[in-house]
Amino acid sequence: MGSRNEGNAAQLLDGKAISKESLQNTAALVREYVSRAGADAKPGLTIVQVGDRSDSNVYIRTKLKTADEVGITARHIKLPNTTTESELLSELDQLDRAPDVHGIILQLPLDSHEPIDSAKATNSISPDKDVDGLSLENSGKLARGELDDCFLPCTPKGVLELIRRTGVQIAGSQAVVLGRSKIVGSPMAELLIWSNATVTICHSRTKNIDAMVRSADILVVAIGKANFVKVDWIKPGAVVIDCGINVVEDPAAPNGRRLIGDVDFEQAVKVASWITPVPGGVGPMTVAMLMQNTAEAAVRALGKRGNVVWNLSPLKLQLKRPVPSDIEAARSQTPKDISRLALEIGLLPEEIEPYGRTKGKVTLDAYQRLKDHTNGKYVVVVGITPTPLGEGKSTTAIGLAQAFGAHLRKPVVACVRQPSQGPTFGIKGGAAGGGYSQVIPMEEFNLHLTGDIHAITAANNLLAAAIDARILHESTQSDDALFRRLVPPKKDKRDFSAIQLRRLKKLGIEKTNPNELTKEEVHQYVRLDIDPQTISWNRVLDTNDQFLREITIGLSVAKEKPQVPPRQTQFDITVSSEIMAVLALATSLADMREKFGRMVIGNSKAGVPITADDLGVTGALTVLMKDAIRPNIMQTLEGTPVFVHAGPFANIAHGNSSIVADLIALKLVGPDGFVVTEAGFGSDIGMEKFCNIKCRYSGLVADAAVMVATVRALKMHGGGPAVTAGTPLASEYTQENIELLQKGFCNLGKHIENAGKFGLPVIVAINRFHTDTDQEIELIRTLALEHGAFDAVACTHWADGGKGAVDLANAVARATESPSKFKFLYDLQMPLADKMRTIAQQVYGATDVSFTDEAKEQLQRLTATGFGQLPVCMAKTHLSFSHDANVKGVAKDFVLPIRQVWVSAGAGFVGAMVGTISKMPGLPTRPAFFDIDLDPETMLVQGLF
């Protein structure tokens, strides 16, 4: 620790020796980190320097050398002295986001010709990476005594270690700190205070400073004046720590200069009990503490990356009676900042990209960090067959999440689809839930959100444009001309792009030099020879517009190029695009890219499927969708997290939110938590596809199904009178009617049966209205249990928020205590027709299926071209178990007609069109947009519901 100077009273505190011991401990900590993080991982320290000050260069070289000795990867970023403040802040921000950088030092003073606020720059560094301990947050925690939750400034931390090595009792001692700088003096005083010393801070304007200093049992000097402290200022037996470094002229020194401290060392050593030399005292300790802080930062980061700390702070509801409109209820709550919510549920700062204050994107890095963690319970919420009265499925999913998170204090994430703007402005309205169980802000949720659907529109239509452009160019150019334009010379050299090489490989051409292709190989390469009659890829728009269901394109081109005739096509609504299905079923960015490449847009005239990869557009589609692949994060009215991602229609596509959102959510909630996801419509639509398609591709296993029903909807299935919008409900729906309810229960009973075929325990959520009687609720509960439900629970979450779904949440928790018995309905090796027949008979209750001649031919072709082992996606009305939307209750004795079959090769399923289903909804006589407006004074959206 130290040695006595010959003939003097004071012992030397040898900073070099003590720092060496500290560095050995740090090296051991680094080795421990590497053993946990992996052989290729090391703690990372980055030193940012502005300018080229010689003294800074010396300090930096010492830090870099020491870092290397203990196994820390240190990097020096030297910015020019022309660096602006914004450029420096940008550099620091990038380092803050880099997961391999654990510590950041901004070397002070800054040497720039441009004005830079050094305090602003220092405070821009994340407190978790501020290993200098100088940021406001770290300084504030030190001031409050939260020493275990901050990084201590390196010099004061080193000084405290030196004092402890003397064996002098700090608690109760009189300590004087001479100097009040933010880097040494002030934090040193705070450290001594929290070590229970009685501390006095002196500075250049302190009166009777000698008398003040003379009272010190422990004296720390950091005033920056050579030999400022005289021997007669020092109390005999005091511990003296000299932090000063001053250069003085000394003809006897090798270079004519030497370093001395702020204390007259030659005299002070005669009266002090312990004293630090200059150099060799505090300096080495400062560097050692920097290394220790960096290693500790890496270990903390590893802990955060490896563990999810769930610390959710729910928002309190202010319930009103009667329950106000959905938008009024939504606006009664002030959402928490989305970055705060992300941290509360265990996401790291670099894993969230805010889009304003109330919504954001979650990076896929979160899954990579947590992929080895145990999943939470996976619960799917579905409904009975929909009626105009509404069942409140979305509302129940949100209410259940609020119950788990805000009331039972369980980790929970709700994963829901993003609504299309077509229905929002058309007839359905919003899809954020309702009453006091909503996603907020509901106008953000229901409108553009973060632009994912617009990205899908752009990507889909880029591919559509590429198809027709390729037909045009192949129709009007020779093989040689096409080849010259497809593989143009650049600086007298021709090269294939990566996607072009993939096409060559697909064709069996192994050559990579364009000049080596034969004429036949050139012909094979440049001619897709698309058959316009087989094109299945349509343009899309996120607007309901029945006038785009049949259109003619290419009229202007045909006038100039008669060899390219116009063709008949149509617009679909964006959410029916295969791009949307791929987004929802992709498990990663790379997987999404591969799926895009496999998308089939039609056939060649020889019957060969043509893909997006053949058209060379896969990479561009991925670029357009690079942000859309990241789930959106929002919150409920009670401040619980919601992942909003993807929105395929359930009656046209597979009707579920994204796999990547569920994957991340299940890891975040952990084994004690729940992920509540919603499948579109009933068990025959969204839930069947959730199980047979989504769970196949995700590899996830569902634990339970929540089946949402209402008394009045079941009455309609029992033969209740028709409901007309804008007219009062018939008395059958507002008064007790046991007979009608009992007749209609058959619909719920069939849905419970369907869920059981997938091995899922069913909890019936009876979404209660004020007109429902206890006898009606009890009847549903009794019949549900008789039909195999695990439980049936009445809920009031629409009026009461999560509190009204606590019983439901408890029932779900009980149902998921047993291991999952989840299973698929069919084997992928079955012929496509048999898979469709299995769904029709087992789920819909059909006696058989029938196929049009067109559908039979399509099945044969898809099987012959290798698509026979894909799962199937039935496009069927959601309003009935059968293909006839007018048949309520349970349809019987019917044959399901399949009129058309197609492949979504990228998404990974074969679609079957049942009856007549349009992929482009229309607008009603009075669309919802009549009520939607913007208040120019408050900028609040009006009329959403």
The residues annotated with a catalytic role in the active site are 63
Cα 725 to Cα 373: distance, rounded to the nearest angstrom: 49
708 and 382 in contact (C-beta within 8 Å)?
Answer: yes
Q: From the CA atom positions of the chain, what is the Rg in Å?
A: 35
Cα 609 to Cα 867: distance, rounded to the nearest angstrom: 11
Bridge partners (DSSP) of residue 360 are 354, 633
Residues 6+ apart with CB under 8 A from 659: 584, 585, 586, 587, 694, 697, 698, 700
User: Following CA atoms 732, 735, 739, 742 in sequence, which dihedral angle do they give, to the nearest 10 degrees?
Assistant: 90
3-state class of 370 per DSSP? helix
The pair of three-digit structure tokens given for residue 829, joined into one six-digit string: 């090796």
Q: Specify the pairing of strand 632-636 against strand 641-644.
A: antiparallel
Residues 6+ apart with CB under 8 A from 334: 315
13 and 166 in contact (C-beta within 8 Å)?
Answer: yes
244 and 211 in contact (C-beta within 8 Å)?
Answer: no
Helices (H), ranges, 633-773: 659-669, 688-689, 695-698, 711-717, 731-734, 738-757
Cα 738 to Cα 778: distance, rounded to the nearest angstrom: 10
647 and 420 in contact (C-beta within 8 Å)?
Answer: yes
Cα 454 to Cα 418: distance, rounded to the nearest angstrom: 12
Q: How would DSSP label each residue in 915-943?
A: S---SS----SS-GGGG-EE-TTT--EES
Nearest to 412 by CA among 638, 658, 670, 631: 670
Q: Which residue has the tokens 């229901």?
A: 446
Amino acid (1-letter code) at residue 161 = E
Q: How much helix, strand and coil, in percent to the nearest 5, is found in the chain? A: 40, 15, 40
CA angle 876, 880, 884 (to 5 degrees): 70
CA angle 125, 139, 15 (to 5 degrees): 95
* HSE-CB of 936 using CA atoms within 13 angstroms: 0
Cα 631 to Cα 352: distance, rounded to the nearest angstrom: 10
Nearest to 762 by CA among 190, 380, 294: 380
Q: Angle, to 10 degrees, between the axis of helix 154-165 and the axis of helix 15-37? A: 120
Positive or negative CA dihedral for 934, 935, 941, 945? negative
Cα 945 to Cα 933: distance, rounded to the nearest angstrom: 12
CA angle 744, 729, 927 (to 5 degrees): 105
Residues 6+ apart with CB under 8 A from 493: none
Residue 260: phi and psi, rounded to 5, are -135, 165
- DSSP designation for 400: H
